[in-house]
Structures are given as C-alpha cells and as structure tokens.
Structure 1
Amino acid sequence: MTHVEEIHFAIRRIYEAALFPENWPSALASVTEAIGGYKALLTEKTPGAAGRSFSSGFEVENASRLQREFETRLPDWIRAIPVGAPMRQSSMISDAAFRRSEIYNETIRPFYGGFYGIVAPLAQHPGRRAYFSVCRHLGAPDFSDDDLEAAKLIVPHLKTALEVQGRLEAADLRTQGVLDVITQLNVGVILFDAALRPVFVNPCAEAIAARRDGLLLSRQAVAATLHLDTEGLRRVMKAALAWHDVSRDGSVVATRTGAPERCYLSRRPPRPPLVVLVVPLCTTGLTSAWNSDARAVLFVMEPDSASGLEQMVLIETFQLTRREAALASLLARGIDLPDTAARLGIGIGTARGYLKQVLAKTGTHRQAELVALLLRSACMAGGVTTAPNSTVPCSHRSDSRGQ
C-alpha cells in the first residue's frame, strides 16, 4: 500500500467510525500508521457530560490520564494552535521547554515513554472541546514534513467525522424523546411499511382497535370494521406510499412535501366516524427508533373524545385569544377547518384568519405542523380528559370532506 493509499484508507476508516464508534480504535490505528506515529489519542468534552476518548496504542488507564490532562490543564501552547490545523509540538514549544513542562514530566514521560508529537484541536470553545494527538516513542526522530502533510490531509476529516457522530447521537436522543411523547399521546399513531403492515402502534391506537369499532389491527394489516371503509383506508395508505416511488422524477421527490391523506372509519351509531390522516415518512432519522421499514404514519382520532388540550393552556402558552384557542383545540382533534368554523359559528374566512394568527403565534407554517405541536403540548400538559359525545352525526361524513 502506497502512502497515498494509506491516507485514503485511514480517511475511509474515520467515517466508518463516525457511524460505528466502536471502530474508532482501529480507525486511529490506520491514522497513526498513515502519519508515521506510534500512538494516537482522540478526546472530546462537552459541558455537563463525561469526557470521552478513543485511542490506539495506549493502555486504557494511560489514555484516560492523558484525556484528563487535555480536560483540566491544557498547555497554553496547545491552546494557541488554530482549530483544525495540526502542528508539530516542536514548532510550538522548544524541546528544552517541553522537557520541563508538567504534561511531559507528570504524564507523558512516566506513562507513555514518548516525546515528539503532532497535536490538532478539533473544537475549542466553551460548548465543546476536542483534540487529536499522535506521538512517537522517546528517542525516535521528530515527525517529518511529509508526516505533517499527511496529518493536514487527515485532520479535517477527523473534525468532520466527530461533528457527524455528534449530530447522529443528538438525533438519536431527539428520536427517543419523540418516541416517548408519541407513546403517551391520546391520538392513535400507527407506522406501517411498504406492504401496509403495522410496524409500530402506540397504546392509544391499540386501545381504539381493541374496541373493534371502526379500526382493526393485526400483525399483518390495518383494516376497518366495514369492508368499504377498509378499501378507502388502504387507498389512502397506498397514496402515501407513492411519495416514496423512486421511479418518479428525482426533483419532484426532493421538493414535494408529503401531503396528508384523509379518510373516515364508520363506528356504531351514534358515535361519529374515526378520522384518519396518513402522512408519508422520510426513511431515515425518526423511523429508525421504531423500525427502519416504516414508510408512513397513520393518525387515528376520535372526534367525540377530548384531545387533552386545555384551552387555558393554549392561551397561556402561546398567548392565543379564547377564539383562537377554541379553533386550535378543535383542529387538534382532527376536525377540519370548515367543520371547525361551523362548530364555532363563524364563517370559513374568519376561521382562516384565526388560523393565520395561530400559526404566527405558535411559530408554525402549516396546519399539519400546528397540529403536531398542539398534540405534543397536550401530552406535556397532563394527559387525557374525557368529554361528552360529539353532536356531529355520522351523516355528515363525506368522501370529499377535507381533501
């Protein structure tokens, strides 16, 4: 393997480690070889979290000692190195001064038996500090210009890989938080795959299906108690899946927002039908916490059950007026804007005006975003309350309603 090939191989291993952190020791081994060192250490520290390090060639205890040095008493000559710029230690501090330094006499000489090194800050601000260092044994010559050039090629990729890893970890935390919220929502949530099979069902959806009145669930299918409703349900589910059709023009896929599909599932009189919204999902990010096969999410709402959303909470949280809070609460229950206007005794134009104000005050841009925010607010505000049956009769149902 040529030197250039060693560098390219090390860079590939770095990005593999960003996705699979357990691969960092082997990635750093490749980096160490490409730079011509013997040992390497990668450290990172963020406020409120324990520092972490990955190393190659170090015993675990010794790597931890050097990590603490970077965290607690970083030498001024390392602070002076620009972020992302690897520097030979000998260009920042003389050999004589380094021999007298605390980091050498208390940590490096007794525990590592090394001397010359290359150091690169990868992040150096109060919110995050990260450093890379590679060293040679005591008695070995200093790193050459070629070694430093190899480090200059590799270090930017180390910096990027750590940032990617941090974003992935943050996304995992956000995903788990969203999952916790969805699990508690008093709205049915069902994720399904390309074969229309459920891959995630929250407790509310399970409870609705357990009544066998409108919604039916099995391991293999999402269905309705009426055959005609099942056909309509599967039609909108397939329409949502069409958003993932890779045979379509790529620019369309990139720019189109997945629009929700709607249908209604009849229940035994006098209960009004269940309202079903189906929205396509991106195949990365959130879905990985539930099932990587998930392609769309199905929301099931009971118009005659309260959303658990206290209007006073909306008024105080988002500074809505009473009319705006009433409209927002009805929308959160899956009731479309025309029906909401009718229930409030206002015209559709006035309802649209209220909706515009609510979107502005909540910082949302579309009705779907607003409903998602309100549902999260409902979950955080204290759970589900029971309301009397709605007075909207089943005869108000229309296949074209809300489209």
Structure 2
Amino acid sequence: MAKTVHRIEPSIYATAGFTVPQYGELLDAIYRGPLEEAPWSSALESVRVLLNARAAALMLRPPTFDRPGSMFNMPPRDTYARNPITYDSHYHALDPFVDLPPGTVTTVDKFLGTEAWCQSGIYRQLLKGMDMRYILGADIQTDDGVMCRFRLCRSHDAGDFSEKDEAVCIALLPHIKRAVDVYSRIDVAESERGLYEHAVDRMQIGMVMLDDQGIVLKANAAARTVLSEDDGIRLRGGKFELADSRARGRFRELVRRSIDSIPISHDDGAPGPMVEAMSLARPSGKGRLEVLIRAIPVREWSEENKWCPACVVVIRDPACSSRTSVEVLRQLFDFTPAEASLALLMANGCSLEAAAEALKVKTNTVRSHLRSVFQKAGVTRQAELVRTLLNSVMSLS
C-alpha cells in the first residue's frame, strides 16, 4: 500500500534503519544540493547507492512537447544516451507513473499493477533496454505550487523496492521539499540579478564589488573592459591600482571613508552609507573616467562573511555609448530603420555632418529624417531629442 508523508512517525526512522551519521550525511547532501554545480548530484548518488538503485532522478519541472523539463539525474543522463529520442522529447508522454498524490511514496507496480507497467510503452520501448524494471517514486508539491518528481530505478535482477526502502524516502522527502523551495528562491534571485546585470552592462556602466579590505570580489563585463585597457586604472593583485599617485591616495581614502560609513547598528534611524565620487585622468589623453564609490549596507547575519561586499565602485567612461537596439527605438517611437539609426547617432552626440558620414547619405537627407524624428519624438530641438531618448527605456534594452 502506498504511504503518504504528512508528519513523519518515529517508527519510520526505525524501519528505515538509519544510523545517526548516515542520516546526517544524507541531510547535508540534500541541503547542499542547491549550491552544487550539478544540483543534488551528491544527494541523488548517495540515495541511489543506499537503495541499490540503477538511477536516481529529481525532476523540478516535468517536460511538455513545447518545453523541456528540468531534471537532475545520477548517473548523468548521457550515461545511458544510446537513443537520440529522449524522455524530454518523447517518452514523457508515454509515462503512466505520474500524478501521484503529493507526498505519497509508492512503487510503479503498486500504483499501476505489474502487468500494466510491463505492457506500457515507456517500459517496452525505453526502460527495458536500459535494464530499468522497478521504480520507486514520490511527487513533491513545493510552496510555490510546483509539482516535482523524485524517482529511483532498479534493474531486473535487483528486485522491487521494499517497505524499508519506502521508509527511507519518506524520511528524506520533507527535506528534499525544503531544499527545492530554497533552490526555487535562489533561482528567482539569480534571474533578477541577471536582469539587472544585463541592464547595467547595456548602459556600459562598470561595477566592481570590494570587500572591507578593498579586495575585488566581482567585476561586471563593462568594468573588466575599462580595466583591461590599463589606461590610468587597472587591477593588480586583486586590488585597484591607479597610475597617478595623488589619484591613488584619493581613491584609497574615499574607499575607506565609504566602508567606514556603514552603520555599526542596524537601527532603521541610522544614517545611510556615504557616497563618494571622483574623476580620473587617463595617460592616453582620452576623457576622464567618472568614478563613484558607494558603501553596501551589511545584513546583521552576514557581518562575518568574508565574501560579503562592503562597497561598490562604479566606473563610467562618458565617451562610451550605451548598447541600444535600433529595433527598440523603432518600437518606442515608430521610427523607420533610417530614422532609428539617425536618432541613435544623435543621442550619442554626433553632429549632422558626422551622422551623414556614418549613414553614408547626404546632409540634406539627414535633415529630412531629423525633422521626422523630431515630430515622432514630440520635440523641436536636438537637445530635447537627446534628453527624451536618454530618459527612455532604450538604454535598458
């Protein structure tokens, strides 16, 4: 009979036969799973070996015909990749061992019946040839309402899963659910971070995170580009190095003042962290770099974390144009392709003559396009056009 997980009874642990160190190691692997390069590879492998299974899988999102699933396997899927037709692309539609009651731990033979399972398309066409006969599974509903699947497969010679094996899964299932919830939150945060990072990169704004000792923790693509030019500022030994000695001293002072401004107490009424700014001359003679230094408030629990950033250094090259899509300008202002290209050149400070040369057209043609651009943007002067474009969402594209 299938077993459903609500509150784990003490007898389950006795049936599972865990030792304390063994159970602790399994829980450690489960909660470490979201941070692994191949999520839950350690936990899946540990459970697979413990239950003498041929394969273990955690499916966070079941596949459909128009969208692949999100699945983690041990051994990895390519271990059995003899058939180009995969579970994602085809066999998921033939899988009858789905839609288990949430939290229920059962075997495929109990759920479907032995005859029905052995006559199923997925067993005859795929799993039989891979020597996967017996399956133990559970469906897990996360706090976000997503239904995940946990599956273990055994070979024909290994025999079906026992009541003890089911008890092992019952004892682990609540922890797998919590770890998946953590993974889901991390995934959402990473998606948001990626969106913000993309927007900053598109605006060609360099951002470098420093710890409280001034050591670089992370730099985005725009910052790495500026620093790789070694034109007055670079990274050396994990720290900023400025070519000009006076600027170097000033920069260090501002970084230290910024970090020291982080409030020691976590009182909501405490003054906010300090923001400092300076500009840097470049030996090449190019325009000065703009530098802003802002302290990052530290959460109380992360004060002793050596990887916690203390401040961010923002580096901007005023001569560097943002990476704006002509297509986005067309959509925003109903420009033609030629008008959008011209508007982008105007926003980047080009004169009419320079724009005509860049577009390989006559100046009169540029003037004609510019009148249409003014009309569609609702402005009458080039300065207003530049302000309108720069204040639009185009730079975030």
* Interval of TM-score (by shorter of Structure 1 and Structure 2): 0.5 to 0.7
Structure 1 unaligned segments of length 5 or more: list them.
Answer: 285-290, 318-373, 382-403
Report what 1:92 is aligned to.
Answer: 111
Tell whether the 8 Å contact from 2:102 to 2:139 is kept in structure 1 after alignment.
Answer: yes
**Cα deviation, residue 57, structure 1:** 10
TM-score, normalization: structure 1?
A: 0.54
1:307–1:378: 8 Å Cα contact kept in structure 2? no
Alignment of 1:45-60 (within 5 A): 45=62, 48-49=67-68, 52-56=71-75, 60=79
Matched residue, 1:336: none
The separation in 1 between residues aligned to 2:95 and 2:37, in whole angstroms, is 25
What is aligned with 1:365?
none
**Kindly tell me: are residues 205 and 97 of structure 1, through their superposed partners in 2, closer, same or farther at Cα, counting changes over 3 Å?**
closer
Mapped pair 1:72 → 2:110:
no
Q: 2:172 maps to which residue?
A: 154
Note the C-alpha offset of 1:102. 2.9
Equivalent runs, 1:98-137 vs 2, <5 Å: 98-115=117-134, 117-122=135-140, 130-137=148-155
| Paired position in structure 2 for 1:39 | 54
**Aligned match of 1:299:** 314
3-state SS of 1:131 partner: strand
Supply the distance in 1 between the matched residues of 2:132 and 2:272 (Cα, whole angstroms).
60
3-state secondary structure, aligned to 1:86:
strand
1:137 deviation in Å? 3.9
Counterparts of residues 365-380 of structure 1 (less than 5 Å): 377=393, 379-380=395-396
Instruction: Give the structure 1 partner of residue 294 of structure 2.
Output: 279
Q: Measured at CA, do residues 202 and 150 of structure 1 come closer, stay the same or move farther in structure 2, by a change above 3 Å? A: same
Contact in 2 for aligned 1:31/1:154 (Cα 8 Å): no
Residue 42 of structure 1, CA deviation = 1.1
Aligned counterpart in structure 2 of residue 261 of structure 1, from 270, 275, 285: 275
Point out the structure with the larger helix share.
Answer: 1
Give the aligned residue type for 2:161. F
Residue 234 of structure 1 aligns with which residue? 252
Query: Could you give the per-residue CA deviations for residues 85-104 of structure 1, whole angstroms, max 9, x where no partner exists?
Result: 32233442223333333333
Q: CA deviation at 1:81?
A: 1.0
Q: CA deviation at 1:218?
A: 5.7
User: Which range moved further: 256-265 or 83-92?
Assistant: 256-265
Amino acid at match of 1:71: H
Corresponding residue to 1:61 among 80, 90, 98: 80
Cα drift, residue 112 of structure 1? 1.8
SS in 1 for 2:104: coil
Q: CA deviation at 1:308?
A: 6.6
Structure 1 match to 2:35: 19
TM-score normalised to structure 2 length? 0.54
**Residues 113 and 217 of structure 1: CA distance in aligned 2, closer, same or farther (over 3 Å):** closer
Query: Conserved in 2, the CA contact under 8 Å of 1:259 and 1:279?
Result: yes
Please list, as runs of the form range in 1=range in 2, the aligned pairs for 1:349-368 lying within 5 A after superposition.
none
Aligned mates of 1:21, 1:38 — CA distance in 2:
23
Total equivalences in the alignment: 299
One-letter code aligned to 2:292: L
